[in-house]
Amino acid sequence: MSASMQGKTVLITGATSGIGLAMARELAERGAHVTLVGRNSAKLATVAEQIRTQTGNPNIETILADLATHAGVQLTAHEFKRRRTRLDVLINNAGAIYMTRQVSPDGLEMTFALNHLNYFHLTNLLLDTLKATAPARIINVSSDAHRGQVIDFDNLQGEKSYSGWTVYGRSKLMNLLFTYELARRLTGKGVTVNAMHPGFVATGFGKNNGALMNLAMRLISPIARTAEEGASTGVYLACSAEVEGVSGKYFVDKQPVPSDPASYDQKTAERLWEISLEMIA
């Protein structure tokens, strides 16, 4: 039987497409109050209305914000706290790959800004609400693309050299370093944090990189999972009684699995934490 989410409040980023949209719909179906964060107001309104209609759940709210910016992350946390006093599940999902180096309005490399700093910043801004709601859960959507990567602190902004896939893989390694460091810091606080890999999923992923990447994604999409299949591990981490109290793990297909050895390096995690903290100060 599906675990109910009646009475639970969920905030999910990148909810206008792909895995985020599928997770939002499933959690709404189970009765959660769901706040969708997206950067495109028309898409956000359409998706929210679709979810209300498809699930019969009227409790779907939206926050419009560009999460690649400090201001957008701050606005999201501020607006959410203005509306709601509890947060049972935070799902950091918004992410992208940039095949050419791009810079955010704050002067940061875009993959770093969106895939890592956004997760770090938003979570830290919402931690007081999560702790006040405890037991509460944080889910960070990472990727198996983290495997084989190392963090290059001398080239964190990709200024010396840049490869889209490498920078993407490193950002997903950062998701794991952040997850494990946060789990250590949250011990005994009633808030768990886990990371997940959704599998290879046919979504809008990569579509911001021109016609060639678009075509490549379309060609390989027949072997990909559906967004619903990709969402299933995130939904499991959000709802299941089996993972109550489980923290600091990496899940693939609803199972905890070891991540790359580099992701367990505590010194690297602490260094990344301190650098990230300075960037959002």
| Pick 204 or 256: Cβ nearer ligand NAP | 204
User: Which of 11, 51, 60, 94 touches ligand NAP (CB under 6 A)?
Assistant: 94
Catalytic residue among 98, 119, 162, 168: 168
Dist. CA 103–CA 90, nearest whole Å: 26
Min CB(1)–ligand NAP separation in Å: 27
Q: Interface residues for ligand NAP in 123-162 (CB under 6 A)?
A: 141, 143
198 contacts ligand NAP (rule: CB under 6 A): yes
What is the rounded CA–CA span in Å between residue 62 and residue 35? 5
The binder of ligand NAP chosen from 43, 86, 131, 189 (CB under 6 A): 43
234 binds ligand NAP (CB under 6 A): no
85 with 132: CB under 8 angstroms?
yes
Segment contacting ligand NAP by CB under 6 A, of 124-132, 194-202, 235-243, 246-254: 194-202
Token pair belonging to 131: 């702790």
Is residue 60 involved in binding ligand NAP (CB under 6 A)?
no
- Which neighbouring-strand residues pair with 101? none
Residue 162 known to be catalytic:
no
What letters, b where the CB count within 10 A reaches 16 and e where it falls short, cover 244-258?
eebbbbbbbeeeeee
Which residues in 200-219 contact ligand NAP (CB under 6 A)?
Answer: 200-201, 203-205
Stretch near ligand NAP under the rule CB under 6 A, chosen from 49-57, 154-162, 179-187, 198-206: 198-206
Using CB under 6 A as the binding rule, whether residue 93 contacts ligand NAP is answered as yes
Q: Which of 14, 158, 169, 248 binds ligand NAP (CB under 6 A)?
A: 14
Smallest gap from Cβ 73 to ligand NAP, in A, equals: 9
Q: In angstroms, what CA-CA distances link 149 with 127, 168, 253?
A: 29, 10, 22
Q: By C-beta, is 31 or 206 nearer to ligand NAP?
A: 206
Binding of ligand NAP by 68 (CB under 6 A): yes
- Residues 156/174, Cβ–Cβ less than 8 Å: no
Long-range contact list for 122-127, CB < 8 A, 24+ apart? 122/13, 122/67, 122/73, 122/76, 122/77, 122/90, 122/92, 123/90, 123/92, 123/178, 123/182, 123/193, 124/280, 125/73, 125/74, 125/77, 125/78, 126/11, 126/77, 126/80, 126/81, 126/87, 126/90, 127/191
Position among 25, 26, 32, 38 found at the interface with ligand NAP (CB under 6 A): 38
Please give the residue ranges that form the binding site for ligand NAP (CB under 6 A): 14, 16-20, 38-40, 43, 66-68, 93-96, 114, 141, 143, 197-198, 200-201, 203-205
Residues labelled as active-site residues: 168
